[in-house]
Amino acid sequence: MKKINIEFDFRDHRYNAIIRVSQKGGRREFHITVLNWELERLLYGNEVISEADGSIQANLLLENKEQAELKLVIAAGLSRHLKIPCFVGDQCVSSDPPKEGWEGLHPIPRHTPIHSHGLADGRP
């Protein structure tokens, strides 16, 4: 079984993940193990990324936004390592991993916190 070591940034910290590669039904599956207890627990139950038609399929569960964000960042790192595009559903997220502004690259709605004086960036 092949293993891939991926470094990724999540919430201003750098982490590592070991990804075990297996063959299933003529396609590859990537089983993620995050080398951080809290992030491994966050990803638990949704730790598989698959390859289909020459691209990474992130397989996000949108019910858990924090988990989806983590998995997207890892999938993007895997995409960069394998040099193949990464998709969320039918949407191509990136052929390179997102860095700044990744929120606009996938369908998870992102909200700016609203303070009593307006938006967080100071706008009314």
pLDDT above 90 for 117: no
pLDDT above 50 (res 76): yes
Tokens 């860095």 belong to residue = 99
The residue that leads in pLDDT, 54 or 118, is: 54
Please say whether the beta carbons of 17 and 45 come within 8 A. no
Could you give the percent of the chain with pLDDT greater than 90? 50
Residue 33 has pLDDT above 90, yes or no: yes
Residue 108: pLDDT band (50, 70, 90) is very low
Q: Which of 70, 74, 60, 65 is nearest to 18 (CA)?
A: 74
Average pLDDT, the chain: 79
Residue pair 39/70 in contact (Cβ under 8 Å)? The answer is yes
